[in-house]
């Protein structure tokens, strides 16, 4: 299959990155690269989707990886896994002889090894330049569920379902296959939260954000739902307002440098030093200070505030606020350093996943969340018009329309930033606004 043919099928299928920002995959596939990396590292604690999906659907995922490799002109492709994912690793090893040019690469069990820039270095030894993206060094990174969705798109089936780990303070952790738009409250009912008063994080414990379970729905980027008792230390940190976190960080920083010494981007040689940013911001937001502008290099991984800082301050929140303010002032980052050199002490500053779990107080919740391949059947789905980076789709349906599962109900042009939207259940459209609501 040619590159343009693959791009067209993936665009039609509405595929976006199945986690994180949800960048439209058809736009990523327009790159010409030497190496494709299937990201199965799944570095966020407690999440289990990618390793389980890889173990259950390895053949399908390797077929998709092979198709992508050929379409983008790559000479080789890697499946990046942690060695502790035994079932997925053994399945891949058994199938790889049938896929010349595909290799298994083990990556260290540290956080955040699944970050694209960290993963590119660990698998290829290449360093993505400051403010850059992997294709600039000849590498394309796609996560496991995204590759699964690419395979479906190649067969003519769009993205209508999502695999979600639901875990934490629950009686029965599970990884579920659910239609996109399924209300989060329905998934919580399946796992039975054990805390009377709890919060729910959309995503992992490090980068996930609190959501209102009575209002939130599963989207194309939902990877996990973590239930925590409201008084759990991590829950309290997550509920702290950005305004309070910002004031604390500016008032109490002792300039110990620990946030900088643990920063993954700093360790890769980039010119980001969070302790200097906290020091500089006292003098006002200006585009003249390199330490303030370095906020654009922050990946918001959370190691600085949830692991490194002994005072529980949040350099991450400072960087988020700085990026927002600089963008408001019209400043756009200008990448500078393309010739990075890894800090020689990097190996000794990486954070093991087990140590991170202990620091976060999450060891009691590190339990299996068995994968169910049986599709959950909600009575109604609520589909936001925008489910990832880019623009919202233009609705193609009106209230009262009957739709089939998999039918396109919102569309963008192929060159636009965004992804087509499809009906995740068969039924009747009952509302069209910022969302499309379908009732079975």
Tell me what the mean pLDDT of segment 426-440 comes to: 98
CATH no., domain 3-155: 3.40.50.11540
The per-residue pLDDT for range 392-402, each reduced to its tens digit, is 999 999 999 99
Look at the block and give the residue holding tokens 């010119």: 271
* Whether pLDDT at 255 is above 80: yes
Which residue in the block uniquely carries the two structure tokens 């940190």? 237
Question: Cβ atoms within 10 A of the Cβ of 5, count?
Answer: 12
Our measurement of the distance from residue 206's CA atom to the centroid of its chain's CA atoms, rounded to an integer in Å, reads: 11
Tell me what pLDDT residue 43 has: 86
Q: How confident is the model at residue 288 (pLDDT cuts 50, 70, 90)?
A: low
Mean per-residue pLDDT, 224-251: 90
CA-wise closest residue to 267 among 352, 351, 343: 343
Closest CA to 74 of 7, 154, 135: 135
The pLDDT, as a whole number, for residue 414 is 83
How does pLDDT run across 17-28, given as a tens digit for each residue?
A: 998 889 999 999
Q: How confident is the model at residue 246 (pLDDT cuts 50, 70, 90)?
A: confident
Q: Is the sign of the CA dihedral 153, 70, 117, 390 positive or negative?
A: negative
Given strand 371-375, what is the order of strands in its sheet? 209-211, 198-202, 224-229, 161-168, 174-179, 371-375
Label residue 330 exposed, middle or buried (CB < 10 Å: 0-12, 13-18, 19+): exposed
Q: Is the model's pTM score more than 0.85? A: yes
For residue 284, name the pLDDT band (cuts at 50, 70, 90). Answer: low
Q: What is the rounded CA–CA span in Å between residue 188 and residue 378? A: 13
405 near 433, Cβ under 8 Å? no
Exposure on the CB side of residue 352, measured as CA atoms within 13 A: 5
Domain boundaries of the chain, sorted by first residue: 3-155, 160-232+361-376, 244-352, 379-439
Tokens of 101: 């040019």
CA dihedral (273, 274, 278, 283) positive or negative: positive
Distance CA 158, CA 14 (A): 6
Decide: 205 and 46 in contact? Cβ < 8 Å: yes
Stretch 309-326: mean pLDDT: 92
Q: Give the per-residue pLDDT at 285.
A: 61
* pLDDT reported for residue 251: 81
- Cβ–Cβ < 8 Å for 292, 285: yes
Average pLDDT over all residues of the chain: 95
Distance of CA 44 to the CA centre of its chain: 9
Cβ within 8 Å of residue 34, ≥6 positions away: 73, 74, 75, 76, 138, 139
Specify the pLDDT at position 286. Answer: 63
Q: What is the 3-state secondary structure (H, E, C) of the chain?
A: CCHHHHHHHHHHCCCECCCCCCCEHHHHCCCCCCEEEEECCCCCCCCCHHHHHHHHCHHHHHHHHHHHHHHCCCCEEEEEEECCCHHHHHHHHHHHHHCCCEEEEEECCEECCCCHHHHHHHHHCCCCCCCCCHHHHCEEEEEHHHHHHHHHHHCCCCCCEEEEEEEECECCCEEEEEECCCEHHHHHHHHCECCCCEEEEECCCCCCEEECCCCCECCCCCCEEEEEECCCHHHHHHCCCHHHHHHHHHHHCCCCCHHHHHCHHHHCCCCCCHHHHHHHHHHCCCCCCHHHHHHHHCCCCCHHHHHHCCCCCCHHHHHHHHHHHHHHCCCCCCCCCCCCCCCCCHHHCCEEHHHHHHHHCCHHHCCCCCEEEEECCCCEEEEECCCCCCCCCEECCCCCCEECCCCEEEECCCCCCCCCEECCCCEEEEEECCEEEEEC
Q: Does domain 160-232+361-376 have CATH number 3.10.20.600?
A: yes
pLDDT(195) > 90: yes
Domain at 379-439: CATH code: 2.40.50
Percent of residues, the chain, with pLDDT higher than 70 = 98
- Residue 168: CB atoms within 10 A of its CB come to 30
Rounded CA separation 348/93 (Å): 30
Residue with tokens 């035994």: 86
CB 317 within 8 A of CB 246: yes
| Residue 287 scores a pLDDT above 70 | no
* Tens of pLDDT, residues 140-176: 999 999 999 999 999 999 999 999 999 999 999 999 9
What is the mean pLDDT of the segment spanning 179-202?
97
pLDDT band at 52 (very low <50, low <70, confident <90, very high): very high
């Amino acid at each position: 299959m040619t590159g343009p043919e693959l791009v067209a099928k993936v665009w039609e299928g509405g595929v976006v990155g199945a986690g994180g920002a949800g960048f439209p995959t058809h736009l990523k596939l327009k790159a010409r690269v030497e190496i494709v990396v299937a990201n199965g590292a799944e570095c966020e604690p407690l999440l289990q989707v990618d390793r389980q999906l890889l173990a259950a659907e390895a053949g399908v995922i390797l077929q998709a990886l092979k198709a992508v490799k050929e379409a983008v002109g790559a000479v080789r492709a890697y499946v990046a896994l942690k060695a502790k994912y035994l079932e997925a690793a053994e399945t891949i090893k058994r199938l790889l002889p049938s896929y010349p040019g595909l290799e298994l690469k083990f990556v260290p069990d540290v956080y955040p090894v699944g970050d694209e820039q960290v993963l590119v270095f660990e698998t290829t030894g290449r360093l993505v330049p400051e403010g850059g993206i992997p294709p600039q060094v000849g590498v394309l990174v796609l996560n496991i569920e995204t590759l699964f969705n690419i395979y479906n798109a190649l067969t003519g089936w769009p993205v209508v379902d999502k695999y979600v780990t639901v875990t934490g303070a629950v009686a029965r952790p599970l990884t579920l296959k659910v239609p996109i738009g399924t209300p989060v409250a329905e998934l919580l009912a399946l796992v039975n939260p054990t805390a009377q008063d709890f919060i729910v994080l959309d995503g992992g414990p490090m980068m996930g954000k609190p959501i209102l379970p009575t209002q939130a729905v599963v989207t194309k980027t939902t990877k996990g739902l973590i239930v925590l008792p409201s008084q759990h230390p991590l829950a309290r940190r997550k509920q702290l307002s950005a305004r309070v976190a910002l004031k604390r960080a500016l008032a109490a920083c002792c300039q110990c440098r620990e946030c900088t010494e643990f920063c993954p981007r700093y360790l890769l040689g980039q010119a980001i030093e969070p302790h200097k940013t906290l020091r500089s911001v006292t003098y006002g937001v200006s585009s003249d200070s390199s330490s303030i502008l370095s906020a654009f290099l922050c990946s918001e991984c959370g190691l600085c505030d949830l692991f490194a800082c002994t005072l529980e301050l949040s350099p991450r929140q400072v960087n988020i606020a700085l990026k927002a303010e600089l963008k408001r002032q019209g400043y756009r980052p200008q990448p500078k350093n393309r010739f990075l050199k890894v800090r020689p002490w990097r190996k000794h500053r990486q954070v093991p996943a087990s140590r991170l779990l202990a620091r976060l107080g999450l060891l009691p919740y590190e339990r299996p969340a068995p994968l169910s391949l049986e599709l959950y059947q909600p009575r109604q789905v609520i589909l936001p018009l925008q489910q990832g980076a880019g623009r919202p789709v233009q609705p193609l349906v009106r209230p009262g329309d009957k739709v089939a599962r998999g039918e396109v109900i919102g569309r963008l042009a192929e060159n636009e930033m965004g992804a087509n939207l499809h009906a995740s259940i068969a039924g009747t459209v009952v509302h069209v606004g910022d969302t499309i609501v379908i009732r079975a």
